[in-house]
Amino acid sequence: MAHPELLGIEADDETYSELHDAFAWEVERASAVTILAGYFNPEYITRLLNSIPQSPIARRRTCRVRIGIGIDPGLPLIGEWLRLRFLKSAIKEAGFKNTEVFAIRDGSVHFHTKVYGFIRKTQRSWYVGSANPGNRRHEMMVRVSGRHDALSAYADAALSKGIEVDEAPPVDEAQTLEGFFASGYLAYRPPAANLFTFDAVRLKPDERKALDDRGGERLGIPYAAVTTKGYGFRLAEAMDEAEVLPVDEGWERGTPKRLSHRRLSVETSLGFWVPRPYSEKIERDLEAVRTRRQERLARFMERLVADGGEERATQAFSTYIQAVNATLGEYGLRERPVAEARAGFANFLSARVKLLKDCKRRERYCRTLVLTPMPNIWSDETASREFIASFFEDVAWRASAVGGRPRILRAFQDGLGGDVNLSDPGDTECALVERLASRPWTDAVWFRVEDDDEDIGN
């Protein structure tokens, strides 16, 4: 019971217990936690779960957390949806990796139940009553000890009707600008270094100019790569794996042109905004690219760590540095110390072998583009206004460009109406607001026009 003093009742831990103390006691050694409620306080839920000690950390990592929250039809769907995303993020950051958070919403009926379930080793307990997690009212719950098949089935059924909040909100709620944008995703390229090129020879500006004037580029030096600093050594090329490209050299090389995300997105202040239907297509194509890159990296690793692999790489580097010095000497430039270069390459090679043996780091290297749900920026007036303005500015700029329009603009034009002038940001924004107010924007709108390779580049 929460605030039993309001009724003049004393908690004795036998007949009555203080509700939040009882929850903390259940959670402290829980291996599974289930929470169903109509409203929620994210700080309270996070603080409650943190009752599980951090040590041993495996306690949190293996604890299964399932949360289902009913979204009141009278509340803005997008705001509540994003609050639930933040809740899930906070729980996972606290160490609870096995966490699922569901939004439960069905028409005009508010899912308003309050059920808490806990498993401590083999002991199960359920709390059923009036308390939403974290409110400060007088509340009462009844504790049911032991296995209860009906309550278990009820909880499973409720969660099965929910939508995992990692997914985009239901598209039929896109009746405002916030809803329109929140149903999409942001695409960005993760930063990546040129991991398999060793910067062995750094050139001063006058040295680079002298070489450029006489021959430029690689000057016939084996395995050489022109970098911003000078001449690098291409390890992958030396191992006959030149297709193992760094992310920043163009992840589309050797893949269909259709993989370009630009024609399916609009550039904004936060990155490239992608409608949900297009994000699914991009993700499928990206998965194919990631698979190919992982296969190439695995093959590269096998060659490098096989018997004689590192010796072959070292011999190739020796050939490279000798050729570099021969070229520098030919043009009267200072030759580089061979022993120092070889020592540096030995450290580089050791680090790259370690990287290639690490599956997670290989997977990270193969991420060429990342799609993430649209964040909640709507409470920040400045950020949201800048985002919206940048969206319509990019639409206007690309609509005014010479040549064919990309698919996203053609579908956007079709959804707004053929008479809308996309080259005017203000007119386009007003047209979209009016369109959303009259009828929701659905996924089907984005599929009304066919894809076209010719629109790539805009």
Length of the chain: 458
- For the whole model, what pTM was predicted? 0.58
Q: In this predicted structure, what is the pLDDT of residue 456?
A: 35
pLDDT interval class at 258 (50, 70, 90): very low
- pLDDT band, very low/low/confident/very high, at 178 (cuts 50, 70, 90): confident
| 403 C-beta neighbours (distance < 10 Å), count | 10
Dump pLDDT digits (tens) for 424-448. Answer: 999 999 999 999 888 888 888 888 8
Mode of pairing for the β-strands spanning 163-164 and 224-226: unpaired
Are the CB atoms for 254 and 267 separated by under 8 Å?
no
Burial (0-12, 13-18, 19+ Cβ within 10 Å), 392: buried
| Least confident range of 19-28, 45-54, 64-73, 217-226 | 217-226
The per-residue pLDDT for range 341-353, each reduced to its tens digit, is 999 999 999 998 8
Block residue for tokens 């309050």:
114
- Distance from C-alpha of 74 to C-alpha of 54, rounded to nearest angstrom: 38
In this prediction, residue 205 carries a pLDDT of: 84
Please tell me whether the peptide bond between 56 and the residue prior to it is cis, using omega within 30 degrees of 0. Answer: yes
Average pLDDT for the chain? 82
The predicted pLDDT at position 220 comes to: 74
* Mean pLDDT to the nearest integer, 126-143: 83
Say what the pLDDT of residue 241 is.
63
**260 has a pLDDT exceeding 70:** no
Task: Please indicate whether residue 16 or residue 314 has the higher confidence score (pLDDT).
Answer: 314
